[in-house]
Amino acid sequence: MPRLLVVHHTPSPALQALLEAVREGAALVGEVDVVSRPALTASAVDVLHADGVLLGTPANIGYMSGALKHFFDTVYYPCLDATAGRPYALYVHGNDDTEGAVRAVQTITRGLRWSAVAPPLQVTGAPDRAALEAARELGGTLAATIA
């Protein structure tokens, strides 16, 4: 069964709501095993056993969270060649601006040669109904891609 790895840093209620929504959307696609790991505990083995990776992070002072950066630092070289072409998606929450965090993640995923299946979901402020539906759709899109 294809495996979708959700790597997230979820320090706020807004990010918790987005995480739950992406997992709900992914779960709607049958025949996909959805595995969630906090960014500080996700490992290269998790990535190597996944068919797709869904990344979630807050935008902190114009950058991705330190936890997600730690994840990338940990998995980059062990996964570099083995995961080229791996489909991924990204959601980012910020109070004001998410562009710097998105740019930083895209720079690293470009280096890993992962393939985005959708534009990044960027949410500022409290996630409203439309943002949560977009998160469900993002999870479902990535799950359907690997199914």
Return the pLDDT at 145: 98
Size of the chain in residues: 147
The pair of structure tokens assigned to 25 is 């959307």
Mean pLDDT of 124-138: 97
Q: What spatial distance separates the first Cα and last Cα of the chain, rounded to whole Å?
A: 8
Domain extents in the chain:
3-146
Question: In the CATH scheme, what architecture does the domain 3-146 have?
Answer: 3-Layer(aba) Sandwich (3.40)
Is the pLDDT score of 143 beyond 90? yes
Q: What confidence tens digit (pLDDT) does each residue in 40-49 have?
A: 999 999 999 9
Task: Supply the pLDDT for residue 86.
Answer: 98
> What band does 118 get if pLDDT is binned at 50, 70 and 90?
very high
Task: Output the pLDDT for position 6.
Answer: 98
User: Is the Cβ–Cβ distance between 24 and 54 less than 8 Å?
Assistant: no
**Contact (Cβ atoms closer than 8 angstroms) between residue 20 and residue 127:** no
Task: Return the bridge partners of 60, or none.
Answer: 63
Q: What is the mean pLDDT of residues 21-31?
A: 95
Q: Which one-letter DSSP state was computed for residue 31?
A: T
The answer to whether residues 98 and 92 touch, using CB atoms and an 8 Å cutoff, is yes
Alpha helices by DSSP H, listed for 1-147, are: 13-27, 44-48, 66-79, 99-112, 129-146
Percent with pLDDT over 70 in the chain? 100
